[in-house]
Amino acid sequence: MHFKDKVIYQAYTKSFNDTDGNGYGDIKGVTEKLPYLKKLGVDMVWLNPFYVSPQNDNGYDIADYKAIDPMYGTMEDVEEMIAVGKEYQIDFMFDLVLNHTSTEHAWFQKALAGDKKYQDYYILREAVAGQEYPTNWDSKFGGPAWQPFGDTGKYYLSLYDPTQADLNWRNPEVRKEAADIVNFWMDKGVKGFRLDVINVIGKDEKLINSTGDIDQEKSLYTDKPIVHEYLRELNHNSFGQDPEIITVGEMSSTSIESSIEYSNPKNDELTMVFNFHHLKVDYPNKEKWTKAPFDFLELKQLINDWQIGLGENGGWNALFWNNHDQPRAISRFGNDTQYREKTATSQAHILHFLQGTPYIYQGEEIGMTDPHFTELEQYRDIESINAYKQLKEKGVPHAEAMAILAQKSRDNSRTPMQWNAKENAGFTEGTPWLQVAHNYPEINVERELAEGEIFPYYQRLIQLRKERKIIREGSYQPMFLEHEQLWAYRRILDDEEIITFANFYGKPLKVDLSSEVADQAWHYLLGNYGEKSFNMTLELEPYEAISFEYKS
């Protein structure tokens, strides 16, 4: 399969590289850094939305799918970026939000003006007798999931921000528009698509109240069987016509069973799926806004279940520790001061030896950390600001609320990319839209390329995936799943085997391998402390990761 040797880099356009001094990253900024991305070795760059948008949800509220927000540049800039990308053998993955549009989108505005055709593009309902809204659902961003539709007496469904109106996928016209949008960008040479919250497009015709239980409520509109039909139709009418195209579905609260179906090539749906279960292991009782340690055994178990679940049933995982909606894994699961380099290389090692397609989030390859903000004024993320208000309402003291934000805010990963030690880390000559992390004089691309160990380690991991079929296609088996400090697994293909071990913590570790590993001629393959010979009594330094191989 053509996509199995690919590694994808996520550039959060807004924070990547600003070339015009307005404080926001831009399209030209991505083009300018293509030589850097080529040096890293990635094949494709996923860009967060840069379409025309009121920016109520950082561009995931799209007002025009076929026009570029002037804040980011022009259509010419995009065409140039794609063309220059080809010269560097780097393709682009565009982010499409097809579950909802901004209420500023022309379709919604026409619907508001009374156009019946466009009213059927959205999910409009009247309030049910005896209650304020058509259903008792909550929006995922807080508050009711229904908003008044002008002065018609009806309400429109908005599962996210009130300015994001859910589209009615039951309407074949809407499905046609979705395929048309994908084809528009394919014609421009785009080779990948990330489909935002795509598994919530399958709303029932008759919408019913939930019991008030959050999981039960999500089940009323998430992973519905009809989503598979919609995706197959979209596939056949757009990206499925080009076998080179890579698609990834962002799957909200999904299951292994559904994700096998979404990503099994026999089903003609998507190439792979993102799931987020492993990034909720520090949410006690499903509560995100808490300051809590992560559950290591649960983290391993979840990755393991998805490796086996998808791997043994023809599905395909998108592998990631970081993205624009998550705190940085180096700060979250490791030690971002004393063992910053070893944490970064160890986490990368664990991920890149797994089965699936690795995603690298900007700054991960140089060991960028959470910014550890201390003032509310430093945050821009609406979710974080709302959470602070809610915490205060519950009586949580200011200092404690700030500590929770510092651990959980999405702004942790959105701080500008740290290019050099100059002012604003070389990201902009203006005022950055979000403050740069304080540690940019020590942690930046220029310094990492000159003397760092993280970037070269990523280069080697990417190279190994291209060289070794076993890393791309081998089966996966866990080892030491119950061990409270060791992460270990094997990959097997024909007569070859690779075993990987990682010490997930900052204290040294000694393990007797004899219960899981045959004593045979294992050869060193890669390790973040350098070459070591194999020993049945494995000794690992803090945050050490190492792999050995054997060929019979």
Distance of CA 173 to the CA centre of its chain: 29
Among 196, 448, 497, 544, the one annotated catalytic: 196
Q: Token pair 């609260």 is at which residue?
A: 253
Q: Can you tell me the distance from the alpha carbon of 192 to that of 178, in angstroms, rounded to the nearest whole number?
A: 15
Q: Can you tell me the distance from the alpha carbon of 181 to that of 175, in angstroms, rounded to the nearest whole number?
A: 10
Start-to-end CA span in the chain (Å) = 26
CB 186 within 8 A of CB 238: yes
Return the structure tokens found at 390: 């809610």
Pairing of strands 64-68, 51-52: antiparallel
Pairing of strands 124-126, 154-157: antiparallel
Please name the helix (run of DSSP H) or strand (run of DSSP E) that holds residue 509, with its range, or none: strand 509-512
CB 19 within 8 A of CB 32: yes
Give, in order, the Cα–Cα distances in Å from 493 to each of 303, 464, 497, 500.
20, 15, 6, 15
Return the structure tokens found at 30: 């991505």
CB 303 within 8 A of CB 478: no
Among 250, 269, 365, 544, the one annotated catalytic: 250
- Max Cα–Cα distance, the chain, nearest Å: 76
Q: Can you tell me the distance from the alpha carbon of 459 to that of 461, in angstroms, rounded to the nearest whole number?
A: 6
Q: Can you tell me the distance from the alpha carbon of 225 to that of 233, in angstroms, rounded to the nearest whole number?
A: 14
Q: Token pair 């010269």 is at which residue?
A: 87
Is residue 61 annotated as part of the catalytic site, yes or no?
no
Return the structure tokens found at 100: 């909802």
Tell me the residue length of the chain: 552
CB 295 within 8 A of CB 302: no
Q: Can you tell me the distance from the alpha carbon of 368 to that of 362, in angstroms, rounded to the nearest whole number?
A: 9
CB 120 within 8 A of CB 187: no
Strand segments, DSSP code E, in 277-397 are 318-319, 357-361
Task: Please tell me whether residue 18 adopts helix, strand or coil conformation.
Answer: coil
Is residue 196 annotated as part of the catalytic site, yes or no?
yes
Alpha helices in 238-280 (DSSP H): 256-263
Residues labelled as active-site residues: 196, 250
